[in-house]
Amino acid sequence: MDKVFEGVFSIDGRIATVNLDRGRKVYNEMLTEIGGKEYRFWNPYRSKLSAAILKGLKNFHIKADSKVLYLGAATGTTVSHVSDIARDGRIYAVEFSERNMRELIKVCERRKNILPILEDARYTERYEQYIEGVKCDVIYQDVASKEQADILLKNAKFLKKGGYAYFVIKSQSIDISRKPEEVYKEALDKVGGDFEVLERIGIEPYDSMHMFSVLRKR
């Protein structure tokens, strides 16, 4: 077993995190015990962050005490691994779908460092009271919307200066008629005044039509 990043490990070539909720699975992932700790294997076909790590991600800034604003939390697959890593921190998990939120709440009931927020990430004024004026260390955004760049810019007010954004760009959600590379470039250009682009990572074969980028707030 090798340490990849703080809270992230490689076990026989597979990525894993230490299970914060010992003995419990979130999405039927495999568990294994090593040295008295239980590890959850992190499926790259179910999580773009795991895929990016396997594809050589260099900038990883989620720490044990990080405050993370997660936009597009879905049912909690990736959120749960972020919860394992930021075990002493706080994850503000914003999700628009009521169906997804029902599943996410089940995860949050056992993981007290996640706050589920049923809201639309385009309307930050609807949930800013839940973040309680805290400046987050990281924004993680994975939303299916034509307005992905605008959503990141609106939520940047919750991110501290020098903080990091993991921006997953879904080309098909923005414009299905254009080449994905054109869509990615336009989205990154749009946020370029507020953010410096540190990395761009293609995450094939785990996922296509998505580009994983790492940004730093100016």
For residue 16, list its beta bridge partners.
9, 41
3-state helix, strand, coil in the chain (%, to 5): 30, 35, 40
Shortest CA distance to 113 belongs to which of 142, 151, 70, 156?
70
User: Which pTM was predicted?
Assistant: 0.95
Q: For 26, how many CA atoms within 13 A lie in the half-sphere containing its CB?
A: 32
What residue segments make up the domains of the chain, in order of their start? 43-217
Instruction: With cut-offs at 50, 70 and 90, classify the pLDDT of residue 176.
Output: confident
**Tell me: the pLDDT tens digits for 17-55?**
999 999 999 999 999 999 999 999 999 999 999 999 999
Across the chain, how many H-helices and E-strands are there? 7, 12
CATH fold group of domain 43-217: Rossmann fold (3.40.50)
**Tell me: the pLDDT tens digits for 46-92?**
999 999 999 999 999 999 999 999 999 999 999 999 999 999 999 99
Instruction: Classify the C-alpha dihedral 128-129-135-136 as positive or negative.
Output: negative
